[in-house]
Amino acid sequence: MRHRRDSREDGETSGDTCRKGQTQTMTSSFPWFGMDIGGTLVKLVYFEPKDITAEEEQEEVENLKSIRRYLTSNIAYGTTGIRDVHLELQDLTLCGRKGNLHFIRFPTHDLPVFLQMGRNKHFSSLHTTLCATGGGAYKFENDFRTMADLQLHKLDELDCLVRGVLYIDSVMSSGPSECYYFENPTDPDHCVQKPYLLENPYPLLLVNIGSGVSILAVYSENNYKRVTGTSLGGGTFLGLCCLLTGCSTFEEALEMASEGESTRVDKLVRDIYGGDYERFGLPGWAVASSFGNMMSKEKRESVSKEDLARATLVTITNNIGSITRMCALNENIERVVFVGNFLRVNTLSMKLLAYAMDYWSKGQLKALFLRHEGYFGAVGALLELLHPS
């Protein structure tokens, strides 16, 4: 609790500096963006001020107005850009200004389209600093400059992630709970989503599942370390699904997975031992070999695309669960927060993770999830714009 109050007080103080800063520098002149350019998706948060005075309205340049209107009046941009309306934070006070925080995403491969749009809307004329994080901030820095005449302020993705998570959690005390967990994760009939009050959040293990996975141990707002990572992440799920089923989007892959049955693809303990492997306490339903049944030609011919999608999802998710659990043991941390866009609309994986954490730790570990799963890096980048750390 103390951590949270402290950070809020910090926020208010820096809010003052912020306003002063506004008159002194261009740092926090509108528009306020934070951007996270990942391997697969670009995540964009945009603060829409709702307390614009008539005077300000008068002064607001046309370009800025048009950007605000374009972003807030649409929920889809081009063919692939999407605003996650359900995540919008309304009446948020940020740096002394009241407004709504919008969450927008589009595929990284459409970044050129985005830059073209920025150029068309003369974004550069606003002389704003664009705070960006994620690998793409480095990879595309030059494109931003040449294609849209924009100078990026590059930020470390894990710094932003940690900052974003802690901030969103702190401002979400009213309204729907940001953090939640699954009650009775090992009992399918009574497994329900419940809000979780993330008091005294430290230490916590933060598992960010994007294209790949990073696992961080967070000890305080400014003290965290990257424990490890794995290349078996959301990108692997989608990549393998595309190859195995011919699908092309994450949503499609998830849809198929929800209709499939992984036990036709995986070899279970009971497939080998006829039941539980009692000597070592392994239940018969546990997966002995992911895709193990696919060693047999007959079985390869009898599975559906949906089964394959489901097995891929289960394999990747369980593996993340395994590595996370080992990290939690090695770091001696009992609370695990899973974030990242792999979990977006992916209740299957979240429940699997909740189950895995609970079952294999015999109830010692708790899997927690956050509603704004993939946007924390971008939020962290925005915060960096408003009060640089």
| Of 180, 202, 219, 360, the one binding another protein by CB under 8 A | 360
Q: Tell me if residue 97 falls in helix, strand or coil.
A: strand
| Residue 362 found at the interface with another protein (CB under 8 A) | no
The Cα 383–Cα 190 span in angstroms is 39
Q: Tell me if residue 191 falls in helix, strand or coil.
A: coil
| Residue 180 found at the interface with another protein (CB under 8 A) | no
| Of 14, 28, 40, 208, the one binding another protein by CB under 8 A | 40
CB-based contacts of 144, cutoff 8 Å, min separation 6: 115, 130, 132, 150, 151, 152
| Residue 115 found at the interface with another protein (CB under 8 A) | no
The minimum distance between CB 282 and another protein, in angstroms, equals 5
| Residue 140 found at the interface with another protein (CB under 8 A) | yes
Tokens of 306: 């949906």
Ramachandran angles phi, psi of 225, nearest 5°: -140, 150
Residues in the chain: 389
Ramachandran angles phi, psi of 39, nearest 5°: -70, -30
Q: Do the beta carbons of residue 136 and residue 42 sit within 8 Å?
A: yes
Q: Do the beta carbons of residue 384 and residue 163 sit within 8 Å?
A: yes
Decide whether 129 or 317 has the Cβ nearer to another protein: 317
| Amino acid of residue 269 | V
| Residue 285 found at the interface with another protein (CB under 8 A) | yes
Report strand pairing: 366-370 vs 335-339: parallel
| Of 8, 119, 153, 351, the one binding another protein by CB under 8 A | 351
Q: Tell me if residue 312 falls in helix, strand or coil.
A: helix
Interacting span for another protein (CB under 8 A) from 6-14, 92-100, 162-170, 272-280: 272-280
Q: Which of 157, 178, 306, 373 is catalytic?
A: 157
Report strand pairing: 89-94 vs 32-37: unpaired
| Of 289, 334, 371, 387, the one binding another protein by CB under 8 A | 289
102 CB-side CA count, 13 A: 24
Decide whether 47 or 237 has the Cβ nearer to another protein: 237
For residues 50-89, which are near another protein according to CB under 8 A?
none
Q: Tell me if residue 308 falls in helix, strand or coil.
A: helix
| Residue 346 found at the interface with another protein (CB under 8 A) | no
The minimum distance between CB 24 and another protein, in angstroms, equals 29
| Residue 232 found at the interface with another protein (CB under 8 A) | yes
Q: What is the DSSP letter of 276?
A: -
Tokens of 233: 């992440």
Residue 209: count other Cβ atoms within 10 Å of its Cβ. Answer: 29
Per-residue x/- mask for another protein, residues 92 to 111, rule CB under 8 A?
Answer: ---------------x-x--
| Residue 38 found at the interface with another protein (CB under 8 A) | yes
| Residue 147 found at the interface with another protein (CB under 8 A) | no
Interacting span for another protein (CB under 8 A) from 44-52, 69-77, 92-100, 207-215: 207-215
State the number of binding residues for another protein (CB under 8 A).
91
Helix (H) or strand (E) holding 143: helix 141-148
- In the residue annotation, 157 being an active-site residue is answered as yes
For residues 303-342, which are near another protein according to CB under 8 A?
308, 310, 314-315, 317-319, 321-323, 325-327, 329-330
Decide whether 104 or 232 has the Cβ nearer to another protein: 232
| Of 58, 73, 174, 189, the one binding another protein by CB under 8 A | 189
CB-based contacts of 266, cutoff 8 Å, min separation 6: 287, 288, 289, 290, 291, 292, 293, 311, 314, 315
| Residue 348 found at the interface with another protein (CB under 8 A) | yes
Interacting span for another protein (CB under 8 A) from 56-64, 81-89, 238-246, 362-370: 238-246
Decide whether 97 or 267 has the Cβ nearer to another protein: 267
The Cα 383–Cα 131 span in angstroms is 9
Interacting span for another protein (CB under 8 A) from 60-68, 93-101, 223-231, 364-372: 223-231
| Residue 138 found at the interface with another protein (CB under 8 A) | yes
Place of tokens 């609970």: 358
Interacting span for another protein (CB under 8 A) from 80-88, 166-174, 255-263, 371-379: 255-263
Residues forming the active site: 157
